Structure 1
Amino acid sequence: MDEFADRAPEPVWVVAANVVAWRRCGVGGQELRPGTKFFEGGAKVYVSGVYWGPGGDRVTVAGRERHTGRWIVIDTATRHLYNFRPKLVHTPRVLERLREERCARGFTEAHYAVDAAPVLERYARQYRAATAPGSPHPDRCLCHACLTGEALHTDDSSDEPAAAR
């Protein structure tokens, strides 16, 4: 038996986040849906890659799938996530799935993850606000922005993603 076969995989720095409980969708954002197609609301996911070119609107995440509980790696919209924070992942199954999808590098160093977390949080807030601009929220709206009071805060133009400028 190989001596490296028993060794645990190296931990990886990623940005952990949670999936929003409810999200607005449909015409004018008048429809509410729980979580996303693949993740339940509140599920913890690990962001291992970001597409910075188009303004950080898509991220590669690993998490437990809603229906089967299997670990999956998919690309999802940044606006469907919140509470971004840096995390050193030791979980062997997460690291294995990331390696299978060639995303095992993560953010390579802690300071990259620390720097990326607030930027992703700001982008997610902006993209949620842009989902249905000018459309009123439905009565007793359960979307993330309404539940957290995020809809009451407006960002100044300096917080725009680079792609939006």
Structure 2
Amino acid sequence: MDETPQPRWMIVANVVRWRRYGDGGQELRPGTKAYRGGARVFVVDTYPGTGHEDVTTVGQARNTGHWITIDMPSRHLHTCRARLVHAPAVLRRAEKLGVAAHTEECARERAASLERLAALYRREAHPGIPHPGGCLCHECLSGGPGPVS
């Protein structure tokens, strides 16, 4: 009989509702190819120093709702926070990947760091190029640093 894994502290984030895409970031796409905009994902691993901070996430797929594990750029995430995760599907996938468990303090620090880096990478994705008219990207919607003129 398969027993339920023990809860563990993880980083939880949401996928940006809209992201800039295409030549000069002048097009907008909802969410990502794998996740709907606003979807909650669990960050199980990070790859610092890659230039765009890739993260391994577990979440429910856009089209099927099945649990998936994918690597994605952190710039597509926002509202990173530390949470004690109880979801067996997420915990099993994290264990299968061999990811070490975090303490609450470590998870909070990593979530704050990831939030800062994700915002930085979103700003750097299309440097010096103005946002399209009526832009719905995360920075424009959240009242962040705003469009680059």
- TM-score by length of structure 1 reads 0.83
Distance 1:104 1:70, change over 3 A: farther
Deviations 1:110-139 (A, max 9, x none): 111011011101101100001111111111
Per the TM alignment, residue 103 of structure 1 is displaced from its structure 2 partner at its CA by 4.2
Q: Aligned partner of 2:76: which letter?
A: H
Quick one: distance in 2 between partners of 1:139 and 1:153? Answer: 10
Per the TM alignment, residue 90 of structure 1 is displaced from its structure 2 partner at its CA by 0.8
Q: Aligned partner of 1:21: which letter?
A: R
Question: 2:123 aligned with 1:129, yes or no?
Answer: yes
Deviations 1:77-136 (A, max 9, x none): 000000000011111111122233x14534x22111011011101101100001111111
- Name the counterpart of 1:21: 17
Distance 1:40 1:18, change over 3 A: same
Contact 2:52–2:121 under 8 Å retained in 1 = no
Per the TM alignment, residue 153 of structure 1 is displaced from its structure 2 partner at its CA by 9.1
Quick one: distance in 1 between partners of 2:136 and 2:147? Answer: 17
- Name the counterpart of 1:143: 137
Question: 2:55 aligned with 1:49, yes or no?
Answer: no
Structure 1 residues 25-40: aligned runs within 5 Å: 25-40=21-36
Instruction: Give the total of aligned pairs.
Output: 148
- Name the counterpart of 2:66: 70
Structure 1 residues 39-118: aligned runs within 5 Å: 39-54=35-50, 57-100=53-96, 102-106=97-101, 108-118=102-112
Quick one: distance in 2 between partners of 1:37 and 1:112? Answer: 30
- TM-score by length of structure 2 reads 0.91
Higher-Rg structure is 1
Gaps of 5+ in 2: none
Aligned Cα root-mean-square deviation (Å): 1.8
Contact 2:55–2:73 under 8 Å retained in 1 = yes
Q: Aligned partner of 1:136: which letter?
A: P
Quick one: distance in 2 between partners of 1:33 and 1:121? Answer: 21
Contact 2:55–2:71 under 8 Å retained in 1 = yes
Q: Aligned partner of 1:122: which letter?
A: R
> What SS class does the counterpart of residue 152 from structure 1 fall into?
coil
